[in-house]
Structure 1
């Protein structure tokens, strides 16, 4: 079977690991090529640090993104540098173009991105632009778009009428899940203690629940928004 070309479009550094880290590890272990596009820089919204500290934090976050994705087997990470938690101030066309550039250069068949039901506005802008950039034209390489859940955003949506309803459960091994947790450790400053959703205990529990829902030991859940045959 032909190996897939996969693109993960994330709003912020660590979203790609939280949402699909073990699945990414499975893709790369099976010989698929995975590239990651992170749209936001993940720092500018922090009001508790100075400008110089933000610059230092930004550089560290970039390094963490490279290290984390290398653990998952990803060799190519692009950071677009959009302002954190301010995607609504950026023209949608600019976000579309950032994604379209990678699509032209890479021609992926499968895209992973955020759920349109997330509480976080940057996440919703990301999936909106991803679907626009990968719209099903005759020349588009994209055959399928899957959206993932991000702890502390997807399940905290108490205001939107729609909720995340997974229709695809990807079996992941203990080894692949271990790579996800190791990759998250590279984003150590972003992790929290239980019972916060971005804690080790919660993330493990979520994988167990998603596995239990689908007759698997461990799983990551997705919703397929669009799929067509070659």
Structure 2
């Protein structure tokens, strides 16, 4: 099986699907990650030498986290973080289509379409567009994941609620997820905040409790094809 995670910024892939990616890799699946930006330019208006150093650091962190999870390939694009709404959606779709055509994944994980973060929302739309179930498409399974501080902080409407229907047992891979999250220590926050070590671990345990597992990652199933 070939598995692709498409996310907006470094750490999204770990927070949302890190344990599941590690599980896939341990089972011999080919796992790759596509990040649309390094995320740093959401905090700046120009690229100074210090900013570029931080951008390079975040890219190194993403590669290091991928190694922890057993991800075989990671691709990081140059879109500016939290500004994808300034880009024609077709440009993002084309980049995603190019990746899909080259890697030919069976399963794709991406953001929840109702997230507060505009990049997450637009990437979800772009991925769904790029994975239209054409006859020659290799993608048979598409799932969306939650991202702490983006999914639960979204506008509380029935149309945007994250309603998971698939739960993956990550008990054997929770330690890897936490180790990968530690790589992104600069993105961690103190409590009370959902993006810290204790909260991330507790969230996996909570979803496990809700689904009859010791630790789990939740997903909303967007596409399932059986051939």
Shorter-chain TM-score: what band?
over 0.9
Q: Are 1:169 and 2:167 an aligned pair? A: yes
Equivalent in the alignment of 1:122: 119
Measured on the aligned residues, the alpha-carbon RMSD in Å equals 1.4
Equivalent in the alignment of 1:44: 41
Q: In structure 2, the residue corresponding to 1:158 is in which secondary structure?
A: coil
TM-score (ref. length: structure 2): 0.96
Unmatched 5+ stretches in structure 2: none
Q: Are 1:157 and 2:154 an aligned pair? A: yes
Q: 2:109 aligns with which of 83, 96, 112?
A: 112
Task: Give, in angstroms, the shift of residue 41 of structure 1.
Answer: 2.0
Structure 1 segments (4+ residues) deviating >6 Å: none
Q: In structure 2, the residue corresponding to 1:112 is in which secondary structure?
A: strand
Give the Cα separation in 1 of the matches to 2:151 and 2:157.
Answer: 11
Give the Cα separation in 1 of the matches to 2:64 and 2:165.
Answer: 31
Give the Cα separation in 1 of the matches to 2:95 and 2:215.
Answer: 34
Query: 1:93-112 residue pairs with structure 2 within 5 A?
Result: 93-112=90-109
Number of aligned residue pairs: 226
TM-score (ref. length: structure 1): 0.95
Unmatched 5+ stretches in structure 1: none
Task: Give, in angstroms, the shift of residue 49 of structure 1.
Answer: 9.1
Query: 1:62-211 residue pairs with structure 2 within 5 A?
Result: 62-161=59-158, 162-173=160-171, 175-211=172-208
Contact 1:11–1:40 under 8 Å retained in 2: yes
